[in-house]
Structure 1
Amino acid sequence: METLLRVQLTLLLFILVHLSLHTKSSSQELQIINAERRIDLTSHIVKVFLTLKVKNLGASPASEVLLAFSPAEVEHLALVKAAATTGKGKKKTFVPLDINSVELPDAPNGTKCFSIVLLTPLRKGETATLEVLYRLTHSLEPFPVEISQSESQLVYFRDSAILLSPYHVKQQTTFIKTTSTRVESFTMVEPTKRAGTELKYGPYDNRHPYSYSPILVHFENNHPFAVVEELEREVEISHWGSLQVTERYRLSHGGARHKGVFSRVEYQTRPGAAGASSFKHLLARLPPRVHSVYYRDEIGNISSSHLRSDFLKSELEIEPRFPLFGGWKATFVIGYGLPLEDFLFESPDGRRYLNFTFGCPLADTVVDRLIVKVVLSEGSKDPTAEVLFPVEQRLETKYSYLDVVGRPVVVLEKKNVVPEHNTPFQVYYSFNPIFMLAEPLMLVSAFFLFFVASIAYLHVDVSIRK
């Protein structure tokens, strides 16, 4: 028994060493011929576009390309997408590629890697062009951390002038686009150029794997830092023909904290100069054919909202009771109804499924914690959810009026949500239409028993006299 166990451990160790050497050798066989990175800092959500031209110098085909991120980037990484490109100009096409998280034991300083799975293996001497998009949240640090009503907001952005990569990079360039031309300072890594709102780092030639050159950019950014600390979206299905959506927001301003006294007079007379980084308007993009829209907070209904709706889209412009400065918060509720036939369908196997949009309806916001609850009708069975990205899933039960066994609730939860997560998801379940008669029959039975009791009471003589 001990001999067999020793043989198994030796075999396992051999496999691990082989995989480690294979990963290391594959990293050395691939080379990035050219890398161009464009970092967009015009919003409080950092958007990075990365174009990679990869060449296989080894003898064996390569089926994946690795992306490396620093620990600071991983902490704020909200989304990573990749696509393979073919053609040029108007004939250029993009084919989405799968991305998986991988662990590399030889990655230095806590570097995290993701694997881009190629559609076809890259043979010796072949090249491939990849387009990568990733989003970073809470990556702009306000400095100073507190500002008065009349001051503009300045922020720090930290990154590397050189692309962090597990491969040898033959040539690379980094472009950084800021909100305005007001740039207080930036790190110089020759060659570095600045023109208007754009900084250019590079080109840099022949950089070794995992090369890193830290940079710091200090610039003005008065874009509204709208952060939804928590959003709970409850989608309730009624098979009588309606879909009721209730959204509970806990909103905050994630920029530099406001100091001093707030002057309403100065804010209204000098809107461009007083409170430049504050915001008082938000735009919610709702589904078309929306109806029965309401917008309220703990005090009551808020009348400062405007709805524009047609058969293609619906836009709700809301205004909180007070403008939001750095560190200020607001809580409110948005509710609306939708026609059920636009979102509920029947699958080929006879099951029903809801097709709805995941994410936050508010434009250009970060959601630290998003909870989507799909409340099914009583009698629904075997609910399952399909989402395009990883989310936490669980089942709950909700009791409403005239419910006997309760309504199944599919709960989907995700942290660090950005606008790219506003994609459709589906909830499949089985439902017998006979359950639609349960509540009407209960009401009829209750009224029937009430009238029977009333008639019996009127016709029964309960007096003690004869």
Structure 2
Amino acid sequence: MRTGFCLIALLSAFVVASTKAPSDLSLAVSRNIDISTQLSKYVITINAKNKGNDVSYFIHPIPKEQNHHLSYITASEGKGKKLQVSQVDDSFGNSGYVYYKIEFLSTLKKDSSLEFKVEYVLSEYLKVYPTEITQSESQFTLWEGSSNYVSVYSVESDKTSVKIGNGKVISHTGTKSSDKIQYGPTNNIEPFTSNKISIHYENNAPFIVVTSLERIIEVSHWGNIAIEDHVEIVHKGAKLKGSFSRLDFQVDRRTNSPIVKSLKATLPAQARDIYYRDQIGNISTSMVRAYDNRVEVEMRPRFPLLGGWRTNYIFGYNVPSSEFLYSSGSNFALKVPLIHPLYDNMLIEKAEIKIILPETSHNIKLVKPYSVSQLPDSLHFTYLDIVGRPVITLQKDNLVEYHSQQFTIYYEFSSISMLREPLIVVGALMAIYAVFIVFNRFDFSIVRKDGNIVAHSKTD
């Protein structure tokens, strides 16, 4: 009996030890949360002081109900120096959270301090309430969270600022100042302390979601890269209650309205030959503005988008290959963003990107700035192709503007292969010309040049 009791005590001690915070860090935390659009954006500045043994990493918890909506998470220290972030399976004594390990660039010694930032975005986390509104009403959303930073460490001081915009606030706690609500400062917070709060506020930002994006990037070594997007969009804001009035829409002078009248895409500065069409045909109601570092395209759908309404379109353009393609001998590097911002504070639920390389490209390698799913390579055939063009297919869910980063595809391509298609054309023309010459030498007429008719005798 005594032995069993000792064994239980030993196991209990092991569990406590395994779930203990990994170091004796003490934190001073400042949080900035932006919920003024359809996305929830978190920027957390942490000053960590080490009071114990040397430590090389930090554990950041995210509530499970928020982690389901996580689009990305990054960390940095100093002047934007990126830190490695990875999810860990340990529960640290509280199974209500998902934990992320942030590795420091160098070991944090005892009695030393380090300031770093944690940034992440939640998509489709805000709740539209009420879920239905009339055409003339404003849209309201509900955000739920904690007034303090929940940590596996002790927090000496904590303050939080939540940006909600300039609209009406139905309910909140904390102190409202201009377009923000302030919480704290709060001192001496124990690990895993969470003060639940909710904010119900006016949010007329468009809740536009791209439910499906198929992007095709076709590379040509003849000086052009063609990019085409097939986009399906739905407005996931408060649904329209009642009927839509075109007259009321025309006279609506609200500067902030949940009704979406246009979309604005940001393209590379060298973009040209821009087109925009839907299933019916070309849409002429678009405007292109060229700046030094970008091209902005404002696109107006055939009808405005209200809550629950959908639309789809095809959007494409060309860019010079010198914009994204680099070479050294037979080695090439394609550096291209997998997506570009389709509108402000965009959200893409599902994206599939197909990158079509020139025929005979080989030894292909992909370098990714973030994780994506890569499907088996395939071939694409077009005019004059013999063996087909390699196609790299990538898939990614839950994308925001952060994901419009450059990917690099390295491949080898012989410059002699560029002569393949011209030689095919020349060879085909020569073959046609040769056939014409041969046939021209035969006399298929029934009248000889001397004017006599050619007679065929029949022997009885």
TM over 0.5: yes
Change beyond 3 A, Cα 1:243–1:94: closer
Structure 2 counterpart of 1:276, one-letter code: S
**Is the contact between residue 385 and residue 426 of structure 1 (CA under 8 Å) also seen in structure 2?**
yes
Partner of 1:150: 136
Task: Tell me, in whole angstroms, the C-alpha distance in 2 between the residues paired with 1:168 and 1:223.
Answer: 37
Q: 1:406 aligns with which of 388, 407, 419?
A: 388
After superposition, where does 1:56-75 map in structure 2 within 5 Å?
Answer: 56-58=50-52, 60-75=53-68
Task: Tell me, in whole angstroms, the C-alpha distance in 2 between the residues paired with 1:257 and 1:327.
Answer: 5
Q: 1:98 aligns with which of 84, 96, 99?
A: 84
Task: Tell me, in whole angstroms, the C-alpha distance in 1 between the residues paired with 2:152 and 2:185.
Answer: 19
Partner of 2:4: none
Alpha-carbon displacement from aligned partner over 1:103-131 (angstroms, at most 9, x marks no partner)? 21334234111111111111111111111
Please state whether the residue corresponding to 1:265 is helix, strand or coil.
Answer: helix
Question: By how many angstroms is 1:141 displaced?
Answer: 0.9
**Is the contact between residue 91 and residue 97 of structure 2 (CA under 8 Å) also seen in structure 1?**
no
Task: Tell me, in whole angstroms, the C-alpha distance in 1 between the residues paired with 2:223 and 2:338.
Answer: 21
Partner of 2:117: 131
Q: Does 1:120 align with 2:102?
A: no
Change beyond 3 A, Cα 1:455–1:23: farther
Task: Tell me, in whole angstroms, the C-alpha distance in 2 between the residues paired with 1:168 and 1:320.
Answer: 52
Structure 1 counterpart of 2:318, one-letter code: G
Partner of 1:164: 150
After superposition, where does 1:51-450 map in structure 2 within 5 Å?
Answer: 51-58=45-52, 60-85=53-78, 93-186=79-172, 188=173, 192-272=174-254, 276-347=257-328, 350-364=330-344, 365-394=346-375, 395-450=377-432
TM-score by length of 2: 0.89
**Is the contact between residue 65 and residue 115 of structure 1 (CA under 8 Å) also seen in structure 2?**
yes
Greater Rg over alpha carbons, structure: 2
Task: Tell me, in whole angstroms, the C-alpha distance in 1 between the residues paired with 2:348 and 2:189.
Answer: 37
Partner of 2:24: 29
**Is the contact between residue 330 and residue 415 of structure 2 (CA under 8 Å) also seen in structure 1?**
no
Change beyond 3 A, Cα 1:57–1:24: farther
**Is the contact between residue 236 and residue 308 of structure 2 (CA under 8 Å) also seen in structure 1?**
yes
Change beyond 3 A, Cα 1:465–1:270: farther
Please state whether the residue corresponding to 1:155 is helix, strand or coil.
Answer: strand
**Is the contact between residue 363 and residue 419 of structure 1 (CA under 8 Å) also seen in structure 2?**
no
Please state whether the residue corresponding to 1:277 is helix, strand or coil.
Answer: coil
Structure 1 counterpart of 2:195, one-letter code: S
Question: By how many angstroms is 1:458 displaced?
Answer: 4.4
Please state whether the residue corresponding to 1:420 is helix, strand or coil.
Answer: helix
**Is the contact between residue 165 and residue 180 of structure 2 (CA under 8 Å) also seen in structure 1?**
no
- Which shifted more, 20-29 or 433-442? 20-29
Question: By how many angstroms is 1:298 displaced?
Answer: 0.6
Alpha-carbon displacement from aligned partner over 1:293-351 (angstroms, at most 9, x marks no partner)? 1111110000011112255321111111111111111111111111112211125x851
Alpha-carbon displacement from aligned partner over 1:13-63 (angstroms, at most 9, x marks no partner)? xxxx9998776455352222x1111111121111111111111121x2100
Question: By how many angstroms is 1:427 displaced?
Answer: 0.8
Task: Tell me, in whole angstroms, the C-alpha distance in 1 between the residues paired with 2:132 and 2:399.
Answer: 26
Question: By how many angstroms is 1:393 displaced?
Answer: 1.7
Structure 2 counterpart of 1:66, one-letter code: I
Task: Tell me, in whole angstroms, the C-alpha distance in 2 between the residues paired with 1:54 and 1:338.
Answer: 46
**Is the contact between residue 235 and residue 246 of structure 1 (CA under 8 Å) also seen in structure 2?**
yes
**Is the contact between residue 128 and residue 238 of structure 2 (CA under 8 Å) also seen in structure 1?**
yes
Alpha-carbon displacement from aligned partner over 1:89-109 (angstroms, at most 9, x marks no partner)? xxxx44322212112133423
Root mean square deviation of aligned Cα? 2.3
Question: By how many angstroms is 1:74 displaced?
Answer: 0.8
Task: Tell me, in whole angstroms, the C-alpha distance in 1 between the residues paired with 2:30 and 2:336.
Answer: 36
Alpha-carbon displacement from aligned partner over 1:376-425 (angstroms, at most 9, x marks no partner)? 00010021111211111232211111211111011222111111222222
Task: Tell me, in whole angstroms, the C-alpha distance in 2 between the residues paired with 1:50 and 1:136.
Answer: 14
Structure 1 counterpart of 2:317, one-letter code: Y
Q: Does 1:50 align with 2:49?
A: no
Task: Tell me, in whole angstroms, the C-alpha distance in 2 between the residues paired with 1:458 and 1:377.
Answer: 40
**Is the contact between residue 38 and residue 175 of structure 1 (CA under 8 Å) also seen in structure 2?**
yes
Structure 2 counterpart of 1:325, one-letter code: L
Partner of 1:12: none
Count of aligned pairs between the two proteins? 435
Question: By how many angstroms is 1:358 displaced?
Answer: 2.8
Change beyond 3 A, Cα 1:328–1:19: farther
Task: Tell me, in whole angstroms, the C-alpha distance in 1 between the residues paired with 2:54 and 2:17.
Answer: 12
**Is the contact between residue 243 and residue 337 of structure 1 (CA under 8 Å) also seen in structure 2?**
yes
**Is the contact between residue 359 and residue 418 of structure 1 (CA under 8 Å) also seen in structure 2?**
no
Change beyond 3 A, Cα 1:185–1:162: same
Task: Tell me, in whole angstroms, the C-alpha distance in 1 between the residues paired with 2:440 and 2:14.
Answer: 88
Task: Tell me, in whole angstroms, the C-alpha distance in 2 between the residues paired with 1:155 and 1:215.
Answer: 14
**Is the contact between residue 71 and residue 120 of structure 2 (CA under 8 Å) also seen in structure 1?**
yes
Task: Tell me, in whole angstroms, the C-alpha distance in 1 between the residues paired with 2:137 and 2:279.
Answer: 31
Task: Tell me, in whole angstroms, the C-alpha distance in 1 between the residues paired with 2:279 and 2:339.
Answer: 24
Task: Tell me, in whole angstroms, the C-alpha distance in 1 between the residues paired with 2:60 and 2:428.
Answer: 65
Alpha-carbon displacement from aligned partner over 1:437-458 (angstroms, at most 9, x marks no partner)? 2222222222333333344444
Please state whether the residue corresponding to 2:22 is helix, strand or coil.
Answer: helix
**Is the contact between residue 330 and residue 414 of structure 2 (CA under 8 Å) also seen in structure 1?**
no
Change beyond 3 A, Cα 1:342–1:23: farther
Task: Tell me, in whole angstroms, the C-alpha distance in 2 between the residues paired with 1:127 and 1:23.
Answer: 25
Please state whether the residue corresponding to 2:383 is helix, strand or coil.
Answer: coil
Q: Which runs of 5+ in 2 are unaligned?
A: 1-11, 447-453
Task: Tell me, in whole angstroms, the C-alpha distance in 2 between the residues paired with 1:412 and 1:431.
Answer: 22
Change beyond 3 A, Cα 1:105–1:432: same
Task: Tell me, in whole angstroms, the C-alpha distance in 2 between the residues paired with 1:69 and 1:260.
Answer: 39
Alpha-carbon displacement from aligned partner over 1:127-175 (angstroms, at most 9, x marks no partner)? 1111121111111111111111111101111111222211122221221
**Is the contact between residue 289 and residue 311 of structure 1 (CA under 8 Å) also seen in structure 2?**
no
Please state whether the residue corresponding to 2:68 is helix, strand or coil.
Answer: helix
